[in-house]
Amino acid sequence: MLSTFLSHQRKSFWRSRNRGGSIATQVLMGFFMLYFLAVAVGVGLGMTVFLPKIFKGVDIITSFNGIILYYFALDFVMRLQLQELPTLSIIPYLHLKVPKSKIIGFLNIKALFSAFNLWPILLFFPFIFMEIADEYGAFAVLMYIISILSITLFNNYLILYIKRKSITNVYYTLVGFVIIAIFAAFEYFKLISLISTSDFVFRGIGEKPYLGFGFTIAALAIFKLNSTFLYNNLYVEELGAKQEKKVSTDYAFLNRFGKVGELAALELKLILRHKRSRSSIILGFFFLLYGFMFYREKLINSDSFGTMMFAGIFMTGVSIIIYGQFMFAWQSAHFDGLLSNKINFKNFIKAKFLLFTIASTIISLLSTFYGFLSWKLVLMHFVCYLYNIGFGTVIVLYLATYNYKRIDITKAASFNYQGTGATQWLLMFPYALTPILIYLPFSLLHIPYWGLFTVGIFGIVMLLMRGFWVNLITAKFEKQRYKIAEGFRE
Question: What pLDDT is stored for residue 142 in this prediction?
Answer: 93
Determine contact, residues 79/155, Cβ cutoff 8 Å: yes
Torsion of CA 105, 107, 111, 112, to 10 degrees: 30
Determine contact, residues 86/111, Cβ cutoff 8 Å: yes
Determine contact, residues 306/436, Cβ cutoff 8 Å: yes
CA distance 214 to 4: 36
Residue with the bigger pLDDT between 129 and 110: it is 129
Question: What pLDDT is stored for residue 484 in this prediction?
Answer: 81
Segment 124-171, tens digit of pLDDT: 999 999 888 888 888 999 999 999 999 999 999 988 888 777 655 555
CA distance 418 to 397: 19
CA distance 269 to 428: 28
Question: 0.85 cut: is pTM over it?
Answer: no
Residue with the bigger pLDDT between 184 and 51: it is 51
Segment 22-35, tens digit of pLDDT: 555 566 667 767 87
Question: What pLDDT is stored for residue 265 in this prediction?
Answer: 84
Mean pLDDT to the nearest integer, 40-57: 86
Mean pLDDT to the nearest integer, 252-264: 77
Count of Cβ atoms closer than 10 Å to residue 191 Cβ: 9
CA distance 199 to 193: 10
Among 215-219, 331-335, 435-439, the least confident range: 331-335
CA distance 241 to 264: 27
Segment 446-482, tens digit of pLDDT: 898 899 999 999 999 998 888 889 899 999 888 888 8
Mean pLDDT to the nearest integer, 321-327: 78
Residue with the bigger pLDDT between 241 and 381: it is 381
Residue 239 has pLDDT above 50, yes or no: no
Residue 240 has pLDDT above 70, yes or no: no
Burial grade of 447 (CB within 10 A; 0-12, 13-18, 19 or more) = middle
- Which of 332-346, 425-439, 463-477 ranks highest by mean pLDDT? 463-477
Average pLDDT, the chain: 78
Segment 356-393, tens digit of pLDDT: 888 888 888 888 888 888 888 889 999 999 999 999 89
Q: State how far the alpha carbon of 89 is from the alpha carbons of 112, 237, 277, 329, 370, in Å.
A: 19, 11, 22, 20, 44
State percent of the chain over pLDDT 90: 12
| Contacts made by residues 17-21, CB under 8 angstroms, sequence distance 24+ | 17/404, 17/486, 17/487, 17/490, 18/404, 18/405, 18/421, 18/487, 18/490, 21/404, 21/405, 21/421, 21/422, 21/423
CA distance 206 to 209: 5
Dihedral of alpha carbons 228, 231, 237, 240, sign: negative
Q: Which residues contact 339 (CB under 8 A, 6 or more apart)?
A: 481, 485
CA distance 381 to 375: 10
Domain boundaries along the sequence of the chain: 37-239, 255-488
Question: What pLDDT is stored for residue 82 in this prediction?
Answer: 67
Question: What pLDDT is stored for residue 153 in this prediction?
Answer: 94
Segment 195-225, tens digit of pLDDT: 788 888 998 998 898 999 999 999 999 999 9
Question: What pLDDT is stored for residue 236 in this prediction?
Answer: 42
Length of the chain: 490
Segment 190-201, tens digit of pLDDT: 677 777 888 889
Determine contact, residues 116/79, Cβ cutoff 8 Å: yes
State percent of the chain over pLDDT 70: 76
Mean pLDDT to the nearest integer, 429-438: 85
Mean pLDDT to the nearest integer, 3-19: 59
Question: What pLDDT is stored for residue 148 in this prediction?
Answer: 94
Residue with the bigger pLDDT between 127 and 172: it is 127
Residue with the bigger pLDDT between 320 and 489: it is 320
Segment 63-101, tens digit of pLDDT: 898 889 888 888 887 787 667 666 555 556 655 666 777
Question: What pLDDT is stored for residue 415 in this prediction?
Answer: 47
